[in-house]
Structure 1
């Protein structure tokens, strides 16, 4: 869940691993249609780089039939066929890429869990681990100590702006 929660929207959907030389047989039966993001035959759904190097779907007989039909008049294609052609090349539309994923809910939830764990840890140490404060920290003891410091004239303030 944490992997899905913090996954970047820029991660590659299909990424070809490097094992020595780049070979096109790792791409499978997909068409290589461009240079790609880094010159590698990978598929990335990115808004800032809308042209992936390879097509999303492999070349199946129905996709190849649509590609042959595509070479003719586009007015003869139905809306479903145009959508199928688009989905053969791309996994998501721009509106699907930009759609909210709801991952902020998990981040807020984990943040609340960590904050509550910190509060409970603080309370545990406050109650069970730390000893009681000495009685010299009480208000009347501190006022008595301040009064004694004034009577003994401890650390007097001297100088031009000092009041006597």
Structure 2
């Protein structure tokens, strides 16, 4: 019972009268015409290739555009190319070719990535030269060979390890 009352109270709090929403949204768009639902039902404009029809026209209606819109209702062959372009630019900001054209923004990102990579390499080299101590002598090749010989002499892990791969009779690797 409490769940039903809570749900009803929340719905009443969220519910907005029909006329209130439309007038507040119309004040946001000025005198631009609301032509379709749009991406999410809000009166906003965006050039998007995945959703090519924005909710509102790009420019507000001027007297010139209103005359062209009346002419548009008739035969389109009577419109000149300039009039058709003016009608298009009143409804849309850019053509598909314009807003899908490459911007060169990737060059900026790649440039900064390379700058950061080179800085990190320089920091690493500086740390290696001035901060880290030299490698211990056990890393030298002769010491590693001596360590390997000692491990073979002690038969370290003779079942499946290093000593299992050494032939003790012929003193060579199997």
Q: Find the counterpart in structure 2 of residue 76 from structure 1.
A: 78
Q: Which has the higher contact order (CA 8 A, sep 6+)?
A: 1
Q: Quote the Cα distance in structure 2 between the aligned partners of 1:75 and 1:158.
A: 91
Q: CA RMSD in A?
A: 2.3
Query: Which consecutive residues of structure 1, in runs of 5 or more, have no partner in the other structure?
Result: 1-19
2:50 to 30, 48, 51: 48
Secondary structure in 2 aligned to 1:23?
helix
2:64 to 62, 65, 68: 62
Q: Quote the Cα distance in structure 1 between the aligned partners of 2:114 and 2:93.
A: 35
Q: TM-score, normalised by structure 1?
A: 0.76
Kindly tell me the number of residue pairs found equivalent between the two proteins.
143
Secondary structure in 1 aligned to 2:37?
coil
Q: Quote the Cα distance in structure 2 between the aligned partners of 1:138 and 1:80.
A: 80
Q: Find the counterpart in structure 2 of residue 17 from structure 1.
A: none
The question of 1:128 aligning with 2:125 is answered no
Q: Quote the Cα distance in structure 1 between the aligned partners of 2:139 and 2:145.
A: 10
Q: Quote the Cα distance in structure 2 between the aligned partners of 1:59 and 1:39.
A: 21
Superposed, which structure 2 residues align to 1:84-95 within 5 Å?
A: 84-95=86-97
Q: Quote the Cα distance in structure 2 between the aligned partners of 1:27 and 1:93.
A: 22
The 1:139/1:44 distance shift into structure 2, 3 A limit, reads same
Q: TM-score, normalised by structure 2?
A: 0.73
Which one has the largest radius of gyration? 2
Q: Quote the Cα distance in structure 2 between the aligned partners of 1:156 and 1:26.
A: 79
Q: Quote the Cα distance in structure 2 between the aligned partners of 1:156 and 1:105.
A: 55
- Superposed CA offset, 1:4-27 (max 9, x none): xxxxxxxxxxxxxxxx95521110
The 1:156/1:80 distance shift into structure 2, 3 A limit, reads closer
Normalized per residue, which structure has more helix? 2
Preserved contact between residue 25 and residue 43 of structure 2 (Cα < 8 Å): no
